[in-house]
Structure 1
Amino acid sequence: MKLYYNPLSTYSQKVLIAFYEKGLTFEPVVIDFKNKAVHQAYLKLYPLGKIPLLITEQSRSIPESSIIIEYLDMNYMTGATLLPRDMDMARQARLKDRMYDLYLNNPTVELLFEGQKPRDKQDPCKMTKARETLNIMYEKLNEAVSDHSWTNGEEFSIADCAAAPALFYAQRVHPFSRFPAIKAYFSRLMGRTSLQKVLGEAEPLVKSFLK
């Protein structure tokens, strides 16, 4: 398999966590969007230009982080089972995955990029809305992990793959220190070998970006 991604991208990190949780190997192709030639070449492969993108062993193109993870989990029985086999538990995992992408990850990324701008160029309305959304999600997430090890119960799932990168950045732009269950959950996430590997690979880019 070949994976087009960027180590700094939260959605790429989400898929990388899944790869490492399942113990699968792939050919990495890092897309640097600042490199015009690389970007243009990638657009020829995938005109929407989004990452990550998986090219399967059968040369099928699979975009979108959640769909990539579902493909890996359905086709490779090694390592962690990221989508529960119970249909109702699977539905809950998919719902949480979407919620964390849309309402935990995206507002966090909004705050990160607004924070990179000079103060007079920042959009206070966008930042306020992002913080309000995160506050709502922190309440929901704190409740979800208050009596469970992971967000969908006692088994690590696709939902945790989505939450982990978002929380890593969120702690810097909108801390969750007043939510004890999230703090404990994040500590468990940071103990996963998969996340440690993803963050280790991304560390030079993360440090440069956060400066």
Structure 2
Amino acid sequence: MALLLYGHPFSSYTQKVLVALYENATPHEFRSLAPEYPQHGAEWLQRWPLRTFPLLVDGGRDVVEASIIIEYLQLTAPGPVRLLPADPMAALDVRFLDRFFDLHVMAPMQEAVAGALTRDADKQREAMACAVEKLDRAYAWIDGHLAGREWAAGDAFTLADCAAAPALFYADWTHPIAERHAALRTYRARLLARPSFARAVDEARPYRELFPLGAPDRD
């Protein structure tokens, strides 16, 4: 039975898993949770009533949480691109960077988005101010970390880059990365040029109007 992935093309965490699947050309069936596919939503909720996605279904096993799904794929469907290093300490570094992008880039971006969805001007300003403060700190740290590196953890594309791609994509829409962070801006551009992420971005283009802060006319 083919792997099934339930998610939404515009979802950052869905894109994170799609990048991993596309990197290794892993056979799977994508079941979009967009409103035009109500049957997929019903199947997803039956399997995972906590209402988060993506959800990977592999036969009788349901796997949730994007980072866990990617680790599961490496264990069960490995390909030529190894997304977790074999060396345990190197793998720990990759897992740290994965957490960094999820917690310190993706999460503040989502705070700003949640504020915008309230339609309350005061809450919107407060959420954006909080997000900007957190993102500025994160941008500064990762810009320094990236000096001399092609990818987040070094020379190889890993789980950390799967996390970084959608996180930085949407974060820069929310609070643009300053020109002084040249290494980070170049890294984001390199991620956008990576075929796996470029494909995920293209598949999500029809849904850009969903971005509550307004999708910029770029990328």
Specify if TM > 0.5. Answer: yes
SS in 2 for 1:71: helix
SS in 1 for 2:60: coil
The aligned residue for residue 52 of structure 1 is 54
The one-letter amino acid of 1:12's match is T
SS in 2 for 1:80: coil
- How many Å apart are 1:160 and its aligned residue? 0.6
SS in 1 for 2:202: helix
The one-letter amino acid of 2:196's match is S
2:74 counterpart of 1:73: yes
- How many Å apart are 1:25 and its aligned residue? 1.5
The aligned residue for residue 198 of structure 2 is 196
Matched-pair identity in %: 34
Return 5+ residue gaps in structure 2 as ranges: none
The aligned residue for residue 184 of structure 2 is 182
The aligned residue for residue 142 of structure 1 is 143
Q: Quote the Cα distance in structure 2 between the aligned partners of 1:28 and 1:36.
A: 14
Aligned residue pairs, count? 210
Q: Quote the Cα distance in structure 1 between the aligned partners of 2:186 and 2:210.
A: 28
**What RMSD, in angstroms, separates the aligned Cα atoms of the two structures?**
2.0
Contact 1:69/1:158, CA 8 A, preserved across alignment: yes
Relative to structure 1, is the Cα distance of residues 28 and 103 closer, same or farther in structure 2, using a 3 angstrom cutoff?
Answer: same
Which stretches of structure 1, 4 residues or more, deviate above 3 A after TM superposition?
A: 33-41, 115-119, 207-211
The one-letter amino acid of 2:176's match is P
- How many Å apart are 1:112 and its aligned residue? 2.8
The aligned residue for residue 173 of structure 1 is 174
SS in 2 for 1:122: helix
The aligned residue for residue 90 of structure 2 is 89
Decide which moves more: 31-40 or 94-103.
31-40
Contact 2:32/2:40, CA 8 A, preserved across alignment: no
The one-letter amino acid of 1:106's match is A
- How many Å apart are 1:18 and its aligned residue? 0.4
Return 5+ residue gaps in structure 1 as ranges: none
The one-letter amino acid of 2:47's match is L
Q: Quote the Cα distance in structure 1 between the aligned partners of 2:204 and 2:109.
A: 17
The aligned residue for residue 128 of structure 1 is 129
The aligned residue for residue 207 of structure 2 is 205
